[in-house]
Chains A and B, each alone.
Chain A
Amino acid sequence: MDQEKLESRMRFAEQVLEHHGAVPQDINQKNRDLLGQRVTYLLNGVYYRIGREDYDGETFIVLSAADDEKFASIGLMEDIQAFRADVSDETVRKKIREALS
Chain B
Amino acid sequence: MRVSFDLDEVLFVNPEKYEIEKPPRFPLNRLFPERLRKGTVDLVHKLQAEGFEVWVYTSSFRSETYIRSLFRNYGVRFDDIVNGARHQQEVQGNRKQTLPTKVPSFYHISLHLDDEEAVIRNGREYGFKVMRVYDPDAAWADKILEEARRIRAHEEAAEKERKK
Name A residues whose Cβ lies closer than 8 Å to a Cβ of B.
Answer: 46, 53, 55-56, 60, 62, 65-68, 78-82, 98-99, 101
Most buried by B among A55, A65, A80: A80
Complex contacts, B66 vs chain A, CB 8 Å: 65, 78, 80
- Say if the beta carbon of B69 comes within 8 Å of chain A: yes
User: Known: A78-B62, A78-B65, A99-B69. Contact between A68 and B27, CB under 8 A?
Assistant: no
On chain A, the residues within 8 Å of B85 by CB distance are 67-68
Closest chain A residue to B85 by CB distance?
A: A68
A101 to B63, CA, bound (A): 16
Min CB–CB distance A98 → chain B (angstroms)? 7
Report the nearest A residue to B63, measured CB to CB: A67
B106 at interface, CB cutoff 8 A: no
- Interchain CB contact (< 8 A) of A79 among B26, B31, B72: B31
> Dominant SS at the A interface?
strand
B64–A67 touching, CB < 8 Å: yes
Give residues in B with beta carbon < 8 Å to A.
26-28, 30-31, 62-66, 69, 72, 85
* Cβ–Cβ < 8 Å partners of B64 in chain A: 67
Instruction: Name A77's closest neighbour in chain B (CB-CB).
Output: B63
Q: Which residues of A contact B26 (CB under 8 A)?
A: 55-56
With both beta carbons as reference points, the residue of chain B lying nearest to A48 in the complex is identified as B65
Which of these, A53, A56, A66, A98, contacts B63 with CB under 8 Å?
A66
Please report the C-alpha to C-alpha distance between residue A60 and residue B64 in the assembled complex, in whole angstroms. Answer: 24
Across the interface, A55 reaches (CB within 8 A) one of B30, B63, B65, namely B30
Residue of B nearest to A65 (CB): B65
The 11 listed contacts between A and B (C-beta, < 8 Å) are A55-B30, A56-B26, A66-B63, A67-B64, A67-B85, A78-B63, A78-B65, A80-B65, A80-B69, A82-B30, A98-B72
Bound CA span A82–B24, Å: 12
- In the complex formed, the residue of A with least CB distance to B77 is A101
CB contacts (< 8 Å) of A82 on chain B: these are 27-28, 30-31
- How far, in whole Å, are A53 and B30 apart by their CA atoms in the complex? 11
